[in-house]
Structure 1
Amino acid sequence: MAKNNLISGSIWDEYSQKVQDLMNNPRHMGELTEEDAKATNTKLIVADFGAESCGDAVRLYWLVDEATNIIKDAKFKSFGCGTAIASSDTMAGLCIGKTVDEAVKITNIDVEFAMRDNPETPAVPPQKMHCSVMAYDVIKAAAAQYKGVNPEDFEEEIIVCECARVSLKTIKEVIRLNDLKSVEQITQYTKAGAFCKSCVRAGGHEKREYYLVDILAETRAQMDKERLAKATLSDNFDDLTVVKQIKAVEELLDAEIRPMLHMDGGDLEVIDIQKGNDGMCDLYIRYLGACSGCSSGSTGTLYAIENVLQENLSPNIRVIPV
């Protein structure tokens, strides 16, 4: 006899078998009462959370041993889709046996990962990741009720990606530590932007305060300024070795010149720096892309490059296109 499933058709191939099973047969669905608490000498906690983006809601029940703060039992009621049921059931199961402080550390990534059939394949499609986020948020609500604090007290950082629960601080640190240059790299390192993608850029299904494209641009700009400041505060440019001079020039070009050239489809490369007979530092460059052959390369663009280098590094720099 064929297994009775609520789901059929290729559209459901994106859902793991665990998710499909829990949609039909949740293990922890139900409610706990004051009678249950008295019978087990525990404290009953009932917390609610609703997701504005989809209208789903979940109620979480805990029986907590106040002597040890261990969650002895957990059940839920879910008012929403099948994925919300599966996520809430998994979340409730993960809570059992943990202390309240340990339960607060359960993330939506933990919930989603526990529903996977294998570690490499997501349990649900990206647009359904918010269901596991809802499960995470109701845990905070329950813990806050138990401890007599606000749920926000458990959120110490600004969350940019709700799906993967990645903070602004983490994203900035990862960009800096790994010298990331694209949103795709941020996603590879943190999972931010891998699911519903609302945090990638403006225009997604949910408006965000912070977007990955802006965080990347702002962090990269700050990194360039810091490199420039470091170069400016170092030894006198004219006394540096050629290798250090080229490095200082490259960092300044990256911060102030190349972004302008890239907007027009162009670029430049540094060929060499040589000491002229007149005491000037001759910087030889080659224009690339749209800048190659452009008439302003020997006039306006050249003057702008030379002016930036002279003001920030040394008045003795002379730029020579080749």
Structure 2
Amino acid sequence: MAKDDLIGGSIWEEYSQKVQDLMNSPQNMGEITDEEAKAQGGKLIVADFGAESCGDAVRLYWVVDEETDIIKNAKFKSFGCGTAIASSDTMAELCLGKTVDQAVKITNIDVEFAMRDNPDIPAVPPQKMHCSVMAYDVIKAAAASYKGVDAESFEDEIIVCECARVSLGTIKEVIKINDLKSIEEITNYTKAGAFCKSCQNPGGHEEKEYYLVDILKDTRAEMEQEKMSALADAKIAGTESEMAFDDYTMVQKLKSVEAAIDKDIRPMLVMDGGNLEILDIKDTDDGMTDIYIRYLGACSGCASSSTGTLFAIESVLRETCSPKIRVLPI
């Protein structure tokens, strides 16, 4: 099959060599009959899944050892584009030798990563990531058939970005913790919306229940409401100026720390040609609040960044915000 018969020659370089090879010569394509499954000492499972967004479909065959739940053989038939064939073939290969429970944990990201020539270079262009999602979904369908349950029972979270398997809860948490204000920031932190982009805004190649633009808007509104409620409660209690740092929301803690850094720490660092940024803030099981920072400019190579400078930063934050703060440079 010629390259141009599969995809436009101008974008061929966006596909890994592994994908190109599997498009033309899949290793696990075929069917398995009941007789063959019995001869191999297992139960035959057949599952189908179709992607409404592109019309592609895949059928997965498993031979499962009912005593161990191990997948002894896996084949597929794909009704779709070359990328769907390559993704399905890789998916079948990843299933071999695993138990059904282990196979369910194979994600579309695992499938795409296994097709890469270079760990840092995607195997397919963004608009083709849905093919590996289809491979992931047919695994769930096969596992559900084997276990006699609904495929949705394997999904315990609302998935917003199917391409990167990012849940609604994760996106909201990342927005709040990192005070994100744009879709681009959400993508940078979570990879949601980085591939087919259908989850970013309405109007993509498939309709979604949740879009990043709406999640961002609603979460920012929640953050503001939490802030106003906390301030109102403090005012009613007559402790507006004495509200404990430990009682702050994570966003309030972040803002409090940032304010202290801007006022008492950053000017000192800038004078010496340095600076810092807050990477993360976490409450720990031992009752401390860990502030993860990264030094910038001259501070990044300064010998005192892990001694005197760090001690000074931690001292200021403990005095102005909370004695339970711990500063950790990364």
CA 1:224/1:10 → structure 2, altered by over 3 Å: closer, same or farther?
A: same
Larger radius of gyration: 1
Cα distance between partner residues in 2 of 1:187 and 1:98: 32
TM-score, reference length from structure 1 = 0.71
Higher mean displacement: 179-188 or 39-48: 179-188
* TM-score, normalisation: structure 2: 0.69
Contact 1:164–1:191 (CA under 8 A) maintained in structure 2 = yes
Correspondence 1:6 to 2:3: yes
Give the 3 Å change call, closer, same or farther, for CA 233–64 of structure 1 in structure 2: same
Displacement of 1:50 after TM fit?
0.9
Query: Which stretch of structure 1 is more off in the superposition, 120-129 or 178-187?
Result: 178-187
Partner of 2:96 in structure 1? 96
Q: Which runs of 5+ in 2 are unaligned?
A: 256-330
Change in 2 beyond 3 A, CA 1:239/1:216: closer
Could you give the per-residue CA deviations for residues 47-74 of structure 1, whole angstroms, max 9, x where no partner exists? 1111111111101000111111111110
- Contact kept, 8 Å, 1:43 with 1:66, in 2: the verdict is yes
Residues 6, 24 of structure 1: 8 Å contact kept: no
> In 2, Cα distance between the equivalents of 1:121 and 1:137?
24
Aligned partner of residue 209 in structure 2, secondary structure: coil
Distance of 2:178 and 2:18 partners within structure 1: 36
Hey, what does 2:133 align to over in structure 1? 133
| Residues 51 and 57 in structure 2, CA contact (< 8 A), matched pair in contact too | yes
TM superposition shift of 1:237? 6.6
Partner of 1:41: helix, strand, or coil? Answer: coil
How far does residue 180 in structure 1 lie from its aligned partner after superposition?
Answer: 1.9
Task: Tell me the equivalent position of 1:301.
Answer: none
User: Larger deviation: 82-91 or 120-129?
Assistant: 120-129
Task: State the identity %.
Answer: 74
Deviation at 1:149, TM superposition (A): 0.8
Compute the displacement of 1:6 (Å). 3.1
1:240 aligned partner = 241
- Once the two structures are TM-superposed, the CA of residue 38 in structure 1 deviates from its matched residue by 1.4
The offset of 1:240, in angstroms, is 2.7
After TM superposition, the structure 1 stretch with the greater mean CA deviation from structure 2, 139-148 or 28-37, is 28-37
Distance change (3 Å), C-alpha of 1:237 and 1:126: same
CA offset at residue 5 of structure 1?
5.4
Tell me the distance in 2 between the aligned counterparts of 1:66 and 1:102.
15
Deviates more, 1:188-197 or 1:174-183: 174-183
1:29 corresponds to: 29
Residue 181 of structure 1: how far off its partner (Å)? 1.9
- 2:66 is equivalent to residue 45 of structure 1: no
1:63 aligns with 2:60: no
Question: Aligned partners of 1:157 and 1:239: how far apart in 2?
Answer: 37
Distance in 1, matches of 2:179 and 2:151, equals: 34
Residue equivalent to 2:208: 208
Q: Assess, with a 3 A threshold, how the Cα gap between structure 1 residues 238 and 33 changes in structure 2: closer, same or farther.
A: closer
1:232 to partner: Cα distance: 2.0
Q: Is the 1:115–1:123 Cα contact (8 Å) retained in structure 2? A: yes
Task: Give 1:9 deviation, angstroms.
Answer: 2.8
Number of residue pairs the alignment of both structures matches: 247
Task: Give the direction of change, closer, same or farther, for the CA distance of 1:180–1:239 in structure 2 (3 Å limit).
Answer: closer
Q: CA deviation at 1:202?
A: 1.4
Q: CA RMSD in A?
A: 2.7
> Contact conserved, 1:45 with 1:62, CA < 8 A, in 2?
yes
1:178: how far off?
2.4
- Assess if the C-alpha contact under 8 Å between 2:3 and 2:9 holds in 1: no
How far apart are the structure 2 equivalents of 1:189 and 1:114?
A: 23
CA displacement, residues 68-120 of structure 1 (integer Å, 9 cap, x when unaligned): 11111101010110000000000001111111011111111111111111122
Partner amino acid, structure 2, of 1:60: L
* Alpha-carbon distance, 1:179 to partner: 2.3
On the 8 A contact 2:164/2:192 being kept in 1, the answer is: yes
1:133 shift after superposition? 0.8
Q: Compared with structure 1, are the counterparts of its residues 126 and 39 closer, same or farther at alpha carbon in structure 2 (3 Å cutoff)? A: same
CA drift of 1:238 comes to 8.6
- 1:165-244 matches, cutoff 5 A: 165-234=165-234, 240=241
Q: Secondary structure at the match of 1:234?
A: helix
Partner Cα separation in structure 1 for residue 61 and residue 208 of structure 2: 31
Deviations 1:241-286 (A, max 9, x none): 8xx9xx9xxx8xx9xxxxxxxxxxxxxxxxxxxxxxxxxxxxxxxx
3-state SS of paired residue (1:49): strand
- Preserved CA contact (<8 Å) 2:58 2:135: yes
AA matched with 2:65 = D
How much has 1:170 moved relative to structure 2? 1.6
Whether the 8 Å CA contact 2:231–2:240 is kept in 1: the answer is: no
3-state SS in 1 of match to 2:45: strand
Contact 2:106/2:136, CA 8 A, preserved across alignment: yes
AA paired with 2:199?
A: C
Unaligned runs of 5+ in 1: 255-322
Q: Flag the 1:88–1:138 CA change in 2: closer, same or farther, 3 A.
A: same
- CA distance 1:59–1:238, change in 2 (3 Å): closer
Contact 2:234/2:240, CA 8 A, preserved across alignment: no
